[in-house]
Chains A and B, each alone.
Chain A
Amino acid sequence: MTDTVTSPDAGNAGAPPEDGPILAADGTPLARSLNRSVRRQKIRALALIAPLLVFVLISFIVPIVGMLLRSVDNSVVPETLPRTVVALEGWTASGPDDTPPPEVYEAFVLDIQKAADERRHTVVGGRLNYQTAGVASKFRQLGRAAEDIDTSSPEAAKAGLIDVDATWGQASIWQTIQTYDGEYTTGYYANAVDRNLDVDGVQARPDDEAIYLMLFWRTIRLSLIITVICALLGYPIAWLLSNSRERNANLLLILVLLPFWTSLLVRTSAWKVLLQEQGVINESLTSMGLIGSPLPLMYNQFGTIVAMTHILLPFMILPMYSVMKTIPPSYVRAAKSLGATDFTAFRRVYFPQSVPGIGAGGVLVFILAIGYYITPEIVGGTTGIFISNRIAYNIQSTLNWGLAAALGAMLLVAVLVLYWVYDRVVGIDNVKLG
């Protein structure tokens, strides 16, 4: 900064020569000198930001991109079965009992023998099992048997393989391999919307296996219900806070901030204590003689809605409050002095000004709700769980990571779109904490 200061008494170097540009103290033209200073500031700012930016890029953005790639990654098939993939090119099954030419069998047996040595045959079997149930066991079986298959001629390999298991004499298993022979696949996304990708294109899954669209729909529906309840409960509170005297408002605000600051696990435990069959609510109602048998308050959607409304309510109240605080009370007074009734003054003057607060709180609560995992897991049972719970289930139990990644990618897109809306409505810079 200091070297670009030009002032009349900076010496005669700063005085403009007769026709030339204005010069800085060191004799360079002022415009260039200023540019250089701005550039230096930019570099300094970037140098301060760089360590964090690199850290976030590597340990957060790269993993997210990696997840997106994994949702289409299918490299295990062409890498483990390279010869089979080539040999299968050009073959189309004419019927369920049509088998590929013997060369395909020979290539496949050679691939599997190599894969079995590297213990990779189960990986590719597991991969294909996500598409056609039961394939994994056939591949596992081959790991032991492939060694003994005679590969002296293609015909011998074919006979040998079918001898191991009759499945290899049918078209379907070869069609599955053929469908998933590329480096990339849309198969996981098809699964994520309850479809199956096979040789004839995209097919609907049988109804008893179709759960993901239902879960997405449920996640959206419950999140909307929670958002609406939060808005209904939050509005009067925010109004009271912004229309009370400052001292009172601060005291009441503590009642909002205390749950906001309390650990999520603590609040979820509290709801479990209250809602369960022998919980506080059921026991009190029974002892008061109001109910004969315990009400099913948790392990269902009711439990999820109540607990999540409680947990997310502060996220609704705080943005509403910060908007309502800025509405001048004189507007409502002016409306009333012009003859508006209380209700009209509220409806025509106060409410429209508070809508941005509802929008901000609503989008925030909805975004937080659709990604929730812990609370539905504890109080939701089977009917109250969200798509996140299924993602976690696919990572930890079924180990179908590609499907988990595809479901995650779809949820991520939904959240990013909502954030874009939020940014347009409120501005991310206006996010306030506490």
Chain B
Amino acid sequence: MATLPAYTTPAQKIWHYGLRVLCGFIFFFLVAPIVAIIPLSFSAGDFFTYTEGMLTFQPDAYSLKHYEDALTNPEWTTAIWNSFRIAIPATIIAVTLGTLAAIGLSQRHVPGRRAIMAILISPMIVPLIISALGMFFFYAPLGNFMQDTLRLPQDLVEFIKIVLAHAVLGIPFVIITVTATLVGFDQSLTRAAASMGAGPLRTFFKVQMPLILPGVISGALFAFITSFDEVVVITIIGSQKVQTLPWQMFVGLREQISLTILAVATMMVGFSIILLTTIELLRRRNERLRGLTPS
């Protein structure tokens, strides 16, 4: 904090420090709940409370048993596996189609740009429960059709339904981040590549793609986290076969089964810190490439 100039009045000093104390409390409110669960996840007990031993730092009050449970209990390991199994293809669909569309949208002449944008962003605007409801009515007959007429196995049908639903939910984030990157993209570079004889595909992969890659990757991370964190749609249209990590946590929270939830939650906090760092680094790289100073 900067030192206050000599002419500050006492009242101003009170304001200055008072505001910082207030902000301290608000920051505490933001971060403390997340931090509070971390020690608890190492508890040797089985309840959602700090035990006497934990507060006096007795080593035997702490244990890794909830982590062990999270990583060995088939209920949780299947859920972790399902989460990745669904999030990865959903991200790939969202990023591939989304990047192409973002490039199309940032061309100079696009008829009906606003309307197209509104449609593509809509999955982010519509509350999840409504999306879930619409998809429930849509995918139930479609799933029956795939199972009965196309004779696809039930597991595969469940999987396809969720992947498609999650891909749609991730698309707005890809569109927003990639179009934001393309705003700073110098179109004369593609023209330069074309004038030197590169075909459209070669131009795309050798010139445009490397430059917009940070935007594409942060869009991909957003799409991934959307699917990875999604629980409303999947509880409505999914079945036990595709039970993901958030779903398992949701069920656990409703029925209050075990502290394993907190061990999983702590691991997920670590995961979000990694993602946050990655996105921040990418953003800085992107700004550096575009000749802006990182801020």
A288 interfacial by beta-carbon distance below 8 Å? no
Tell me the residues in window 237-295 of chain B with beta carbons closer than 8 Å to chain A beta carbons. Answer: 246, 249-250, 253-254, 261-262, 265, 268-269, 272-273, 275-276, 279, 283, 295
Cβ 8 A contact of B138, one of A62, A233, A265: A62
On chain A, the residues within 8 Å of B40 by CB distance are 273, 280
B59 at the interface (CB under 8 A from A): no
Cβ distance A5 to chain B, nearest Cβ, rounded Å: 10
Contact (A237, B23) CB under 8 Å given A49-B110, A258-B273: yes
Chain A contact patch, size range: 35 or more
Establish whether residues A395 and B236, one from each chain, have CB atoms under 8 Å apart when the complex forms: yes
Give every chain A residue within 8 A of B110 (Cβ-Cβ).
42, 45-46, 49
Q: Is B69 close to A, CB under 8 A? A: no
Tell me the interface secondary structure of chain A in the complex.
Answer: helix
Complex Cα gap A60–B171 (Å): 11
The answer to whether A64 touches B101, judged by C-beta atoms less than 8 angstroms apart, is: no
Tell me if B36 and A373 are in contact (CB < 8 A).
no
Asked if A101 is an interface residue, CB under 8 A from chain B, the answer is: no
Per-residue CB contact flags for chain B residues 194-237 toward chain A (1 = under 8 Å, else 0) read 11000000000000000000000010001001001101100110
From A49, A261, A395, A415, B101 is in contact (CB under 8 Å) with A49
Q: Are A252 and B130 in contact (CB under 8 A)?
A: no
Q: Are B250's CB and A374's CB within 8 A?
A: yes
B42-50, B70-78, B148-156 - the one binding chain A: B42-50
Name the CB-closest residue of A to B232.
Answer: A373
**A59 contacts across to B, CB distance below 8 A:** 135, 138, 164-165, 167-168
Chain B interface mostly: helix
Residue of A nearest to B103 (CB): A48
**Could you say which residues of chain A place their CB within 8 Å of the CB of B26?**
233, 236-237
Whether B137 is near chain A, meaning CB under 8 Å from some CB there, is: yes
State whether the Cβ of B189 lies closer than 8 Å to any Cβ in chain A.
Answer: no
A195 within 8 A of B: no
In the complex, which residues of chain B have a beta carbon less than 8 angstroms from the beta carbon of A254? 276
Residue among B48, B97, B246 making CB contact with A52, cutoff 8 Å? B97
Q: Provided the pairs A2-B195, A46-B104, A52-B97 are in contact, do residues A274 and B253 lie with their beta carbons within 8 angstroms?
A: no
The minimal Cβ–Cβ distance linking A267 to chain B, given in whole angstroms, is 7
Stretch at the interface among A151-159, A175-183, A401-409: A401-409
Q: Which residue of B lies closest to A271 (CB)?
A: B33
CB distance from A321 to the nearest CB of B (A): 12
Mask, B116-156, CB within 8 Å of A = 1, is 11111111011111111111111100000000000000000
One of A85-93, A102-110, A117-125, A426-434 contacting the partner: A426-434
The reply on A127 being an interface residue by CB < 8 A is: no
B126 x A342 contact (CB < 8 A): no
The answer, yes or no, to whether B31 is at the interface (CB within 8 Å) is yes
- A398 to nearest B CB, angstroms? 14
Give the complex CA separation of A429 and B272 in angstroms: 26
| Interface residue? A270 (CB, 8 A) | yes
Closest residue of chain B to A282 (Cβ to Cβ) is B49
**CB of A29 closer than 8 Å to a CB of B:** no
B63 on the interface (CB 8 Å rule)? no
B95 smallest CB distance to A (angstroms): 11
CB of B6 within 8 A of chain A? no
Q: Mark B93-123, 1 if CB is under 8 A from A, else 0.
A: 1000110110111011111000011111111
A313 CB → nearest B CB, Å: 6
Q: Are A66 and B49 in contact (CB under 8 A)?
A: no
Asked if B64 CB lies within 8 Å of chain A CBs, one says: no
- Return the contact of B130 from the options A48, A64, A269, A313 (Cβ within 8 A): A64
User: A269 and B261: CB pair below 8 A?
Assistant: yes
Complex contacts, B4 vs chain A, CB 8 Å: none
Point out the residue from B1, B134, B265 that lies within 8 Å of A270, measured CB to CB.
B265
Given A63-B138, A266-B34, A371-B127, residue A279 in contact with residue B107 (CB < 8 A): no
Tell me the smallest distance from the CB of B286 to a CB of chain A, in Å.
12
List residues of A (181-199) whose CB comes within 8 Å of B's CBs: none
- CB neighbors of A among B172-189 (8 A): 173, 176-177
Check if B27 is an interface residue, CB within 8 A of chain A: yes
Give, as a whole number of angstroms, the nearest-CB distance from A266 to chain B: 4
Q: Which of B105, B126, B218, B279 contacts A415 (CB 8 A)?
A: B126
Which of A245, A246, A392 makes the CB contact (< 8 A) with B2? Answer: A245
Taking the complex as formed, is A421 at the interface, i.e. its CB lies under 8 A from any CB of chain B? no
A45, A67, A258: the one contacting B134 at CB < 8 Å is A67
Contacts of B27 in A (CB 8 A): 237, 252, 255
- CB-CB under 8 A for A266 and B109, given A49-B104, A258-B31: no
In the complex the two chains form, is A51's CB within 8 Å of B101's CB?
yes
A225 lies within 8 A of chain B by Cβ: no
9 tightest CB-CB pairs across the interface, nearest first? A371-B127, A48-B104, A63-B134, A63-B138, A52-B101, A45-B107, A49-B104, A52-B97, A270-B33
A–B complex contacts, Cβ < 8 Å, 10 sampled:
A38-B109, A55-B93, A233-B29, A258-B272, A263-B268, A264-B231, A269-B37, A283-B49, A415-B126, A433-B222
